[in-house]
Amino acid sequence: MQVGIVGLGLMGGSLALALQKLDFVQEVVGYDLNKAHQKEALILNLVQRVVNFEEIKKCDVIFLAIPVNGIIATLKNLQDVDEKTTIIDLGSTKELIVKSIPKKIRKNVVAAHPMTGTENFGPSAAIEGLYEDKVVVLCDLEDSGELQRDIAKKIFRSLKMKKYFMHSYEHDRHAAFISHMPHAISFSIANTVLKQEDRYNILALAAGGYRSMSRLAKSSPNMWEDIFRQNKTNLLEAITLFEQELSSLKANIEDENWQEVHKTMQDANKLHEIFN
């Protein structure tokens, strides 16, 4: 099969590298609105060819590895694809995308979210193995065509990804707590320190804890503004609940209620039992 990838940044570029290794993929071509990204993707051998959008439409499988607003707009321009074409979007929020799919191509589309990535972006951020052993969430799969479901599952299985299935609204609420809120907190931590400390002190004193907590603050503002906008309601709920937890810890520290402070940290330690 021929696979076309719209968006040649971290997600699209890393996907292209992985797809080229699959024996049932004959060619991986790419499209990106950013001309510099097109050239860079070719130099880095992320795709075998860069093509125009009309040629992307002719591919057997089309991946949309672009921000959510771009996915919604692009789906409207894919309404004339063949009925056997499989379109897989990789958006970080799902409900709005699913609701925006034109009825004419609803069975063509598989809504997916690979739970992977780094804080870097652009074609140069693409890396080998980004998808391997990671989770991919497939949403509202019952509304996709049988052929499209089978092809999507085959591709993600071949990429050695772990598949989970859920409704799009469930995905967005879970993602707000697991991914979107941590990014919001990381941006806030970075700005708090930048407003209080000079560059020398940050470089000299920032150790593992701060570097880990602020790592996500290097993420693309364009992409994350888009995500925050699309998942606003769920994100605000997550931030509110986080604020309550932080306020409770702050109050116990102010009151020197060290037993409760200790219990708060002890309860938080249970998270590692889940990962282990």
Q: What is the pLDDT of residues 195-219, one digit of tens each?
A: 887 777 776 777 677 777 788 888 8
Instruction: Give percent above pLDDT 90 in the chain.
Output: 72
What residue spans define the domains of the chain?
Answer: 2-166, 171-275
Angle ∠(127,132,137) on CA atoms, nearest 5? 110
Q: Which residues contact 138 (CB under 8 A, 6 or more apart)?
A: 110, 111, 112, 152, 153, 156, 163, 164, 165
> Alpha-carbon distance 97 to 44, whole Å?
30
**Predicted local distance difference test score (pLDDT) of residue 2:** 97
Rounded mean pLDDT, 86-93 = 95
State the DSSP H helix or E strand holding residue 70, giving kind and residue range, or none if neither. Answer: helix 68-76
The full length of the chain comes to 276
Residue 159 has pLDDT above 90, yes or no: yes
Helices (H), 159-270: 168-175, 181-196, 199-205, 208-214, 221-230, 232-254, 258-269
Model pLDDT, residue 276: 64
Find out whether 186 and 217 touch, Cβ atoms under 8 Å: yes
The whole-angstrom separation of Cα 24 and Cα 226 is: 34
Q: Is the pLDDT of residue 108 over 90?
A: yes
Q: Could you read off the pLDDT of 220-271 as tens digits, one per residue?
A: 888 889 899 999 999 999 999 999 999 999 999 999 999 999 999 999 988 8
239 or 45, higher pLDDT: 239
pLDDT digits (tens, 9 = 90+) for 173-183: 999 999 999 99
Cα 262 to Cα 276: distance, rounded to the nearest angstrom: 22
Instruction: Give pLDDT tens digits for 119-144.
Output: 677 888 889 899 999 999 999 999 99
pLDDT at 17 over 90: yes
Between CA 108 and CA 103 the distance in angstroms is 10
Provide the mean pLDDT of the chain: 92
CATH ID of 171-275, from 3.90.1300.10, 1.10.3660.10, 3.40.390.10, 3.40.50.300: 1.10.3660.10
Pairwise pLDDT comparison (193 vs 53), residue with the higher score: 53
3.90.1260.10, 3.40.50.720, 3.40.50.10190, 3.40.50.800: CATH of 2-166: 3.40.50.720
Q: State the pLDDT at residue 96.
A: 92
Under a CB-based contact definition with an 8 Å cutoff, are residues 7 and 33 in contact? no
| pLDDT confidence of residue 220 | 82
Crossing angle (nearest 10°) for helices 258-269 and 232-254 = 140
